[in-house]
A and B are shown apart, each in its own frame.
Chain A
């Protein structure tokens, strides 16, 4: 219980130990812990950010999906319209063609009828003439009555 030089020695040892701790022990531990704290904080912030951007992306996705759907529906309706137009015009063309064919057939038939009528008339007039000739062979001068006969043929 007597004070002596030990006191000074211990104080010096104390000072050296404090110096050592300040210089070599405290800073690396502080750095490691603070760096880890920062990393954890950064990680949490990044996670939060990721979550937010994920939400934004999901929203965008839904939006673009809607847009695409709308576009698709538009295209389909346009195609349908176009198809009905094509069908319509085809129908029209077909009807016109049919009408034309019918008209030409009708006119051909008319021509045929006329030709047949003409033939018939000629034949009738020939027959009539032949008949008349037979009846009047002796009385009628062929040349004198030719005009009259052709007129008759025409009237038939």
Chain B
């Protein structure tokens, strides 16, 4: 309870975990989490824009240090994708992987900003509820996973044709005998449902949990001198460990995207 405006610990936590909403209409589903969307767009423009600035002036001669750094990221993604995706990766999959990795990485990295100081800053701007980590909102991660899901279906149909794709839906993995069709269909259905769920919830869970632990440490800091002391040390430790989680989760999200697209194209 860094702020005296909070009456109970529950208030503090729920305040920090509440999205800034904007109702598009009366319906429950027509709500926009302004903070997630705005932060995601700002971070996306910032991260992709930065490499765009470098890529625009990319030279094949001796690169500047900035270009060398961007090329380092580029070749990292390119080598990861080329190991998994066989086919022309440069037209879609590799650039998509680069986008996913950078965007998710930067969105995750927002978690390093100290929540209470940032909430003062947002309060100063007149935004009383503002979550600045878009990936700790399940809508963001599920939105991304859903995008990948549609791409997966698109790639599958493009590679095998609609008939081939449907054939695979009913004849894999157990075979093409008619009496195993229901089992095949059920399996594939579960696969198609579980993929976006595990894809999105893994990232969301990690980022959300990280945020909650920061909040709990913040609560502890409000209990007194010893609380401030221990929660500072633990907070620093958690933040350092969180560097690993942030990068790892971005990497996993990117790799799963590539794997799903590769699987969709190549079949079982």
Query: CB within 8 Å of B: which residues of A?
Result: 1-11, 13-15, 17-18, 20-22, 24-33, 35-36, 39
| B37, A13: Cβ atoms closer than 8 Å | yes
Q: Residues of A contacting B67 with CB < 8 Å?
A: 32
Q: Which residue of A lies closest to B50 (CB)?
A: A25
| Total residues of chain B contacting the partner, CB 8 A | 49
Main DSSP-derived SS at the A contact region: helix
Q: Which of the segments B137-145, B168-176, B213-221 contacts the partner chain?
A: B137-145
Q: Which residue of A lies closest to B33 (CB)?
A: A6
Q: Residues of B contacting A28 with CB < 8 Å?
A: 55-56, 58
Q: Which residue of A lies closest to B51 (CB)?
A: A25
Nearest chain B CB to A36's CB is how many angstroms away? 4
Q: Residues of B contacting A5 with CB < 8 Å?
A: 24, 29-32
With contacts A6-B32, A21-B48, A29-B71 taken as known, whether A35 is within 8 angstroms of B98 at the C-beta atoms is no
Q: 6 shortest A-B CB distances, which residue pairs?
A: A10-B143, A35-B60, A6-B139, A26-B95, A32-B58, A6-B33
With contacts A21-B98, A24-B55, A32-B59 taken as known, whether A10 is within 8 angstroms of B71 at the C-beta atoms is no
Nearest chain A CB to B90's CB is how many angstroms away? 6
Q: Is B198 an interface residue (CB 8 A)?
A: no
Q: Residues of A contacting B147 with CB < 8 Å?
A: 11, 14-15, 18
Q: Residues of B contacting A9 with CB < 8 Å?
A: 32, 37, 143
| B143, A25: Cβ atoms closer than 8 Å | no
Interface CB pairs A-B, < 8 A, 20: A2-B31, A3-B138, A5-B24, A6-B33, A6-B36, A6-B37, A6-B139, A10-B139, A10-B143, A13-B40, A14-B99, A17-B48, A18-B96, A21-B98, A24-B52, A25-B51, A25-B98, A28-B56, A29-B54, A39-B60
Q: Which residue of B lies closest to A30 (CB)?
A: B90
**B26-65 interface bits toward A, Cβ cutoff 8 Å, 1 = contact, 0 = none:** 0011111100110011001000100110111011110100
| B60, A36: Cβ atoms closer than 8 Å | yes
Q: Residues of A contacting B41 with CB < 8 Å?
A: 13
Nearest chain B CB to A34's CB is how many angstroms away? 8
| B31, A18: Cβ atoms closer than 8 Å | no
Q: Is B1 an interface residue (CB 8 A)?
A: no
With contacts A21-B95, A32-B59 taken as known, whether A10 is within 8 angstroms of B37 at the C-beta atoms is yes
Q: Residues of B contacting A31 with CB < 8 Å?
A: 58, 60
Of A3, A4, A10, A24, which contacts B40 at CB under 8 A? A10
Of B56, B94, B98, B144, which contacts A10 at CB under 8 A? B144
Main DSSP-derived SS at the B contact region: helix
Q: Residues of B contacting A18 with CB < 8 Å?
A: 95-96, 99-100, 147
Nearest chain A CB to B32's CB is how many angstroms away? 5
Q: Is B223 an interface residue (CB 8 A)?
A: no
| A22, B58: Cβ atoms closer than 8 Å | no
CA A2 to CA B19, docked complex, whole Å: 10
| B146, A7: Cβ atoms closer than 8 Å | yes
| A11, B143: Cβ atoms closer than 8 Å | yes
**B218-244 interface bits toward A, Cβ cutoff 8 Å, 1 = contact, 0 = none:** 000000000000000000000000000
Q: Which residue of B lies closest to A9 (CB)?
A: B37
Nearest chain A CB to B177's CB is how many angstroms away? 38
Q: Residues of A contacting B92 with CB < 8 Å?
A: 22
CA A14 to CA B150, docked complex, whole Å: 12
CA A24 to CA B98, docked complex, whole Å: 12
Nearest chain B CB to A147's CB is how many angstroms away? 136
Q: Residues of A contacting B30 with CB < 8 Å?
A: 4-5
Q: Residues of B contacting A10 with CB < 8 Å?
A: 36-37, 40, 134, 139-140, 143-144
Q: Residues of B contacting A3 with CB < 8 Å?
A: 29, 138-139, 142
Nearest chain B CB to A30's CB is how many angstroms away? 6
